[in-house]
Chain A
Amino acid sequence: MSIITPDLLIAFQQLNGGNPYSEKKTRSRSPIHIEWVMPNSTSSENNVISYYETLFQSTSAKRSAEDILSKYNCLVDNWDGYGALAPTQSVIKNSISFLSSLPQKVLKNLDCDDNITPNPNGTLSFEWVNEDHKIYIEIGDEKMNIFSLYNDHYTGYDGCEISYEGVLESLFAKFYFTNA
């Protein structure tokens, strides 16, 4: 029996294309029996599955955020011909972390070509738009700025912590509620 720790699990997922469930197929064909063991060694199968799912979701979300942002990570300085700076590594890192933390519903509505914008000052902007509502987020090295537009009324939030919780959570609740 092999014991898989979270670190090994991530490494194993990377080898298996990121899907922990693909491991089951490998396991069934393999003479080696692998049992997933939680770090605190709980024997509850439900807990193990729940642990898989959480880890899979967060790893998968991070990977999809990395994919979404990959083309912005490749920009070089002066990408707009007017002296724009490429997104800083902190901005990319913050954006990956931010996107990974978004609920699936919110992330799904983000078109990576249309709704992500690199800015000349090295930040990245993200926007969600429906008929009468817009949420705009600009992520920087340390903070993010947000504005919302609802029924032609703008509201701005400067110097926010880079987090979905708080202002954004309530803005998105309104965004989806009014769009329901």
Chain B
Amino acid sequence: MSDPKSPEIPSNFSNDERIIRGLFSMHNFRKDFSLKSNVFSLRPEVDAGVSVIRLNYSHLNFCKQQFKKIEKPIVDKHYYGMALLLVGGILSTSTAPVTVKMAYTPQNDIAAHAEIYYFINGLHYANHPQGVPMPTAISIVIDKLLKHARSYPDKDLNSETWTGEDLSLVRFP
């Protein structure tokens, strides 16, 4: 399935835009399937932010298929579900000295790909060293992010399509 992208995906984000993050490890969940902080942590020693898909410019079936495609090369690692956030919720977690921003970063196979970036005192925080705890300013922001995120474990993992709740219609308070 190709990405049902609009030919014109804007580079700016509206606050009510929906953002999806694929989940590939049971270590991302608590027993009640609420999310753990590692869902929004940065990968070490890379320049990238937290990889997400702009649901308003994509489709749940496409997201799921991309996630299932990613799981294949990983031994014993599987796609488990998705996290859903609103852009407004993400941006609202900015807490001095950290600012949270969204960046539109389309990829060849995912036109609606985007990233969540953390800035400390205006500088893009990246290339975090291995084995070093994340600055608490960022951990605090991630803790706030979790309060805005909803967890949707996929109850139909073998299906090629998303058969759960329509996440484009889920109401946020």
Contacts and interface: CB of A to CB of B under 8 A. Distances in A.
A75 B133 contact: no
B30 A147 contact: no
Contacts of B38: 80, 84, 117-120, 125
A147 to B, nearest CB: 5
Interface string B47-76: 000010000000000000000001100110
Contacts of B133: 121, 123, 138-140, 143-145, 158
A89 B33 CA distance: 28
A112 B130 CA distance: 23
Contact of B44 (A111, A121, A147): A121
A158 B140 CA distance: 12
B143 A149 contact: yes
A122 interface: yes
A131 interface: no
A80 B143 contact: no
B25 A81 contact: yes
A114 interface: yes
A141 B131 contact: yes
Nearest to B136: A156
Nearest to B76: A76
B30 A83 contact: no
A94 to B, nearest CB: 10
Given A121-B41, A142-B131, 14 more contacts: A79-B27, A80-B25, A85-B130, A118-B27, A120-B41, A123-B132, A136-B143, A142-B132, A147-B139, A154-B143, A156-B140, A157-B136, A158-B133, A158-B136
Chain A to chain B: the 3 pairs with minimum beta-carbon distance, closest first: A81-B24, A156-B136, A141-B131
20 contacts: A78-B77, A79-B77, A80-B24, A80-B77, A81-B25, A81-B79, A82-B24, A114-B30, A119-B37, A120-B38, A121-B129, A121-B131, A138-B134, A139-B133, A140-B132, A142-B132, A143-B133, A146-B136, A149-B140, A158-B133
